[in-house]
A and B are shown apart, each in its own frame.
Chain A
Amino acid sequence: MDMLTFNADNGYLEAVVRGLKASLLRRQDYTNLAQCESPEDMRTILNSSDYGLWLQNEPAPLQTQALYDCLMNRLVYDFRSIRGQSYAPLSTFLDYVTYPYMIDNLVLLLMGVLRNRDLSELLDKCHPLGLFEGIATLTAIHSPEELYREILVDTPLAPYFAECVNVHDLTEMNVEIIRNLLYKAYLTDFYQLCVERIGGMTGSIMATLIAFEADRRVINITLNSLETSLRKDERMMLFPRVPGGLDDEIIQRLGRADDLQAVAMALDLSSTYRALFQRAAERGEYSLEDQFLEFEMKLLRESFDAQFHYGVFYAYFRMLEQEIRNLTWIAECITQKQFAHASRVVPIL
């Protein structure tokens, strides 16, 4: 069915995205970039890529921040132009893609408020795709209930906040909990959107990607809560669960895990994550997070093998974001003269 009707509304955009994907930087480019001696050299190399146009009007000594802004502008431009041209289920899908940024921004601001940071400085750090009306008024908030009632109720995040209202006051720990609860609700909802409401090829591709996202969060939550005061039942409550993710058995074990050893034991039951875990242990300089990213990039690449589905949109923007992270990382390494680390990026293609 997808084959018959998909191209009527989405054929053009899919082609655009596939074309954009082809312009992502390759391993060879990263090798060249890693040899640069200043961000200005990076510009010389990036000039021949799609970023050339975005970088050409930056004044000469290119700063890492300026580089990041340019790259981000491009991401936002790509996203907005595609979102602007999309039709119904795809536009909803693309909106869902921005919700994680909203959650991150929300948490960033709440954390900032707790630490008494300057508002405008915080707003600059927010992801531009995750801005919503009234986000700047977050500073006037003192409790999760107020947060919900006064600000979030107008945003798409409102339904996800249902579980969070039980959280009593805003401490750093609770903000983290809010973030994870929001993510949990979001992932469940996104899964439902893709699999049940859109379905078809999109459903099957996105199910894998969302399940991986959920698993990654489960493992990260477990690892981050090992030495903290978070109770185990609370921990279990934070785990996002979608069909196709980790087995119940593993989830239970992770929920009970007390130390790294127990986590490793639990993950032994899953071939995928066991491999990632082991490799992270073997290759010292690549963290588990890098392993996850590398694996995610593989999944995203694979999603481009199938046609007539929305997964490519999700995949492209995730890839582009990873590319921006890579470039910023290289630029950081170069400015701090850590040339040896500059080649430590997660290749996308």
Chain B
Amino acid sequence: MFRSEDIVLLRVYFQRTAAHDCVEELGRRGLVEFRDLNANTSALQRTFAAELKLCDELQRKLRFLSEQANKYLPSEKTFTTLAAQSQQLIEAGPGYSRVQATDTVTLEDLNGQLRRLEADLEEMNLHWDALQSELITIREHGYVLELGEAIFSEARTQRISVSQYGTLPLLESNVLTGEDVISERRGPPDDSESAGQRVERGQGQGYTPVNAVLNVFAGTIAAKHLEAFSRMVFRVSRGNCFLRWVSIPEPIFDIERNESVAKTVFVLFFPGQHLRSKLTRICEGFGATRYPFPDSTGERDRLKTELVIRRQELEAIIETTQRQRADVLGEVATNVTFWTEKVAKEKAIYFTLDKLNYDVSERVFVGECWCPRAEIEEARAAIHIGDIRSNAQAPSIMEECATDEAPPTFFRCNRFTAVWQDIVEAYGIAAYKEMNPAPWSIATFPFLFAIMFGDVGHGMLMTVAALYVVFRERQWRYRKLGDLLQTMYDGRYLILMMGVFSMFTGLIYNECFGVPINLFGSTWKWVDGSAVACGIDHCEQPKLGMPPKRTYPFGFDPAWKIAENSLTMLNSFKMKMSIGFAVAQMTLGIILSYSNARYFAQSLDIWHVFVPQILFFLAIFGYLLLLIFLKWSTDWNAPGASSPPDLKAVLIAMFMSPGSLPRSLRLFPGQHVVQLVLLAIAIVTVPWMLLAKPLVLRRRMRTQRPHAYTPLHNGDRRDAPANLNSSEAESRKAEPHESVGNFAEIFVNNMIHTIEFVLGAISNTASYLRLWALSLAHAELTDVFLQKILYTALATENVIATMIGFVLWFGLTVGVLMLMESLSAFLHALRLHWVEFQNKFYNIHGSGVKFTPLRL
């Protein structure tokens, strides 16, 4: 738990046929992490590029299919229920899903099946779109007829005036009201008919002066183009045109753009043939659709009924199509989860197989993988099963091999510890076998949080909330939670611990929603005629205000809450307490750095890093802590005692005037000598930290250089397949050369670390004062809400005001204190762990890699 698990490098030789199944079995158990042996070959040159491409293609098809199913199944519910059913099947029996999803279907079969489905669906969609667009045409035509009629009759009167003053002279009004308008018809079914009619009409009437013809275009256009369209029409025809429009009450679906657009019916009157071609093109250019618009009412009515009949027919067809498509999509919906899972799995397997090396002469795949030592046997079993499944002729072989590379870091976590591990790893991954701060944090993290959040009531609310989530754990595991809830779910155990610890510190501070609890009976009492309270059992002379002999058994006496000097007292206590935890936690950090150095047998780091560091730190801050405790434990009220010294002054005197300390500041005899010694130690340790390590390293290098050997590949390496990739080999060769020389770099590095430590010792200790500050802020805020809102409301003695006051107070307590304040306390605790604690020993070289096994 404190150090990551043993990880060994395994080399596995797979039969070509067995490789796939073996990797699958390993992946199912999530045991090993394969190393990429082809790091510098591009994606194209790898062995299984084709299979991966197939997987990509399949995934695309599946995306298409599930999107279609989502979109077109009669109601969305159906899709979700179908998918949920299949999900349940998977969960119900692992055996079933295994057979269904992995063994029976091969990728090629699946590809064929999906291709068929996709083609079917695309054809259906094409058909569907055609039907829809026809339906839309009919609907639009209906609107054109209906709305155009109004325009037409209105315009008829105006057209006469146009003809009187315009370019059409000498026309009788009966001619105009007669057959002067030639309707423009489009669409194959109408063309021949209309032409026939026109001819017929022309013959029947016997006259229709060509220049007298006012042409009519009727159609629909998207409302947003209307303005530009009308402007263009006006410009092109130089005003000899008459455009009227009415907007369609409902939006029309545009199939090409796949969205609903507002459309407008327009009717356009214009004279002469020469404008016709131009306007036709303009209509095309603006995407306006023109529809046949007969001029006589009877004709229009006939057309309308025709449209209604066609519409009914179409709707029937559409319904059938819809049903067919729903059938196909239903089949898709039931299977799509299986297929997606299957394809994702296969893709992962092929991706992993691409990391293997293919040995051409031996016809085997050679893979290297990291595996926790504890699980080697299971991995062996997995490979055995894979061999059996694939009927391999020769068994796959697995062997351990030595390596000088650092293995990945793997901490085994359970539900409870995982969240702390996550917090630590958000800062950085531990190097292999480096000390893991997470187990320490399990205790310290909630505790530091609780120091800032100390209140029994708030802690209780937090605990209850966390407990609720913990009991819901099983139900919520697979559910999709919101962002906020998911965070809470992930950190449920952390929150639980924080709540419990907050109750503890709340008891110490003696606060419950800001109200002190008088559990054991206050030991102070107030006597008339005295300026200060005095102890219950020690109040012979009230004027003296002597403290009680019997101390309050646990935490603060509730009387402090109402004392005038409560803030001074609490501040002094909390500040010193913060320093206390600062020194304790950082000393722990430094000691952990010793434990690391000892584990890796780096005596240099023990003697020239750890020892001066701990000496320096304890000489100054350890001494400060000692003074604090001394001062606390001295009875300053005892007869003959002097007044308590100011510790700040003591510390300042220690540096500014070494060796001399005014008698009034002394806590124990000989303090000035002790201080002098400690200061001397602190001063000596700084150059020790700074110079010793680089100098020793330099001397070692000098003595080593004359008889330095070129590194030999150990026997194991030579057995390895010759095609170990070259860059790796090079980097391995380059390493020893790099460590030769470079004294300057080591020195600068060490200097930075020294400066950081020495300055950090002061600033980090000061940084822990945030414990005090946040705790103070929390207590004061609680108090303000309580006094100003709840107590004010209670004071009115009005029921409604009390209710409002309570609701307001409770809302603020939850919103501001429980959510915002707790978040801020959490962040500060996080900072104290990441920066002040972990920088003493953790991840100093930043070289850790997390163990990420293949997990299917």
Q: Which residues of A are at the interface with B, using a C-beta cutoff of 8 A?
A: 32, 35-36, 40-41, 44-45, 47-48, 56-60, 119, 133-140, 149-151, 154
Contacts and interface: CB of A to CB of B under 8 A. Distances in A.
A40 to B, nearest CB: 7
B225 interface: yes
Given A149-B235, A150-B236, A32 B284 contact: no
Contacts of B44: 32, 35-36, 41, 44-45
Interface in B29-88: 42-44, 49, 52-53, 56-57, 59-60, 63-64
Which 10 A-B residue pairings sit nearest by Cβ, starting from the closest?
A137-B285, A136-B285, A140-B281, A60-B57, A133-B228, A140-B278, A137-B282, A150-B235, A139-B281, A44-B43
Given A57-B64, A134-B286, A137-B232, A45 B281 contact: no
| Chain A CB within 10 A, most for which of B42, B52, B235 | B42
Nearest to A136: B285
15 contacts: A35-B44, A41-B44, A44-B43, A44-B44, A56-B56, A56-B59, A57-B60, A58-B60, A135-B285, A137-B286, A138-B285, A140-B278, A149-B235, A151-B232, A154-B231
Interface of B: 42-44, 49, 52-53, 56-57, 59-60, 63-64, 225, 228, 231-232, 235-236, 277-278, 281-282, 284-287
A32 B64 contact: no
A260 to B, nearest CB: 43
Nearest to B235: A150
Task: Name the prevailing secondary structure of the A interface residues.
Answer: helix
Given A40-B53, A47-B43, A140-B278, A134 B285 contact: yes
A227 to B, nearest CB: 36
A151 B286 CA distance: 12
A44 B60 contact: no
Contacts of A138: 285
A160 to B, nearest CB: 19
B60 A59 contact: yes
Nearest to A138: B285
Nearest to A135: B285
A12 B235 CA distance: 44
B228 A154 contact: yes
Contact of B49 (A44, A140, A150, A151): A44
Nearest to B43: A44
Contact of B281 (A35, A48, A58, A137): A137
Contacts of A44: 43-44, 49, 52-53
B235 A136 contact: no
A56 B60 contact: yes
Contacts of B232: 134, 137, 150-151
A130 to B, nearest CB: 16
B60 A48 contact: no
Nearest to A119: B284
Contacts of A48: 43
Given A56-B59, A140-B282, 8 more contacts: A44-B43, A48-B43, A58-B60, A60-B57, A135-B285, A136-B284, A136-B286, A150-B235
Contacts of B278: 140
Nearest to B279: A140
Contacts of A133: 225, 228
A77 B773 CA distance: 50
A62 to B, nearest CB: 10
Nearest to B45: A35
Contacts of A41: 44
Nearest to A28: B42
Contacts of A59: 60
A133 B285 CA distance: 9
Contact of A32 (B42, B277, B281, B287): B42
Contacts of B287: 136
A150 B233 CA distance: 9
B228 A134 contact: yes
Nearest to A133: B228
| Chain B CB within 10 A, most for which of A35, A40, A134 | A134
A145 B777 CA distance: 77
Nearest to A132: B228
Contacts of B43: 44-45, 47-48
Contacts of A139: 281, 284-285
A58 B57 CA distance: 9
A139 B44 CA distance: 47
Contacts of A136: 284-287
Nearest to B58: A60
Contacts of A137: 232, 281-282, 284-286
Contacts of A36: 44
A39 to B, nearest CB: 12
Nearest to B234: A150
Contacts of B42: 32, 45
A140 B274 CA distance: 12
Given A139-B281, A150-B235, A47 B56 contact: yes
A80 to B, nearest CB: 16
B56 A140 contact: no
A341 B364 CA distance: 38
B666 to A, nearest CB: 58
Contacts of A135: 285
Nearest to A35: B44
